[in-house]
Chain A
Amino acid sequence: MCKNLVEKGDLCKPLIIFNRTVKRAEDLNAELPAGTSIIAKTIEEAVSGSEIIFTCLADDAAIKETVATMMKGNVKGKLFVDCSTVHPDTTEVLAKTIMAHSAQFVACPGRYLEPDPGVRNSR
């Protein structure tokens, strides 16, 4: 996702990346073209420096905790996009919370589609 964002996303500033496991953010940062990304040390840092924040976490507990942390700062007018696969009720609660802080929210779960290898033989 990040790779495509920096390559094709026409971003005017470096992509800010954060991961609870610092090494993962560091590895990703190293993979991306120089200067296209910077690592945030905290969630607060990532959010305060951004207008649009994408999240993609493993489960409901993780995203709830993360959103709670993100809402501590001033998030008025920011757009939060959650790509996590979670219970629909969780999504609704997150939406309510985020919008109560005058921010915007889009639920954006996704699935990778494998490129079709193509038909090898036709009989």
Chain B
Amino acid sequence: MAENGQLVCVLAGPAASVDRVKNYTRGVMGRANIDFSNQPHGKATLMKVIGNTFILSMIETLSEGHTIAEKSGLGNENLHAFVETMFPGPYVAYSKRLMGGDYYKREEVRHSAPLGLGFSMADLAF
């Protein structure tokens, strides 16, 4: 993903081990840590997969919203102004990416992640 982007890591495992990794995450590779020290390792990847559902919902919402904005005559720019004001943060970045045609202009598929955990689609590619 974008080199400018900032990595948020979920860290799970024995605290002594997590502390060793933290030297290389926050402030180095990443922007922030979600610290699951002393919790079972699997909780980190479980968090990641559930977190992915939030990202998917967000992209779904933005996709539908921008489509309605186009078809209704509201316009994408107007919708984007609403997104910036009401949902600052990742929503703004993804809204911009959708409007800019980032997804269909890429050579390589941008997101492809196994969803697992009861989802009917094994992979979702954007």
* A-B CB contact pairs (8 Å), 17 listed: A4-B28, A5-B24, A87-B114, A88-B49, A94-B41, A95-B13, A105-B41, A106-B11, A107-B42, A109-B10, A111-B52, A112-B7, A113-B31, A115-B2, A116-B88, A116-B92, A116-B93
For B24, B52, B81, the residue with the greatest tally of chain A CB atoms inside 10 Å of its CB is B24
In the complex, the chain A residue whose C-beta lies closest to that of B47 is A109
Smallest beta-carbon distance B114→chain A, Å: 6
| Residues 28-62 of A contacting B (Cβ, < 8 Å) | 52, 54, 59-60
Q: Are A95 and B10 neighbours in the complex by a CB distance under 8 Å?
A: no
Q: Are B7 and A95 neighbours in the complex by a CB distance under 8 Å?
A: no
Interface residues of A (CB under 8 A from B): 1, 3-5, 8-9, 52, 54, 59-60, 79, 81, 83, 85-92, 94-95, 104-117, 119-123
Interface residues of B (CB under 8 A from A): 1-14, 16-18, 20-21, 23-25, 27-31, 40-49, 51-52, 55, 81, 84-85, 88-90, 92-94, 96-97, 113-114, 116-117
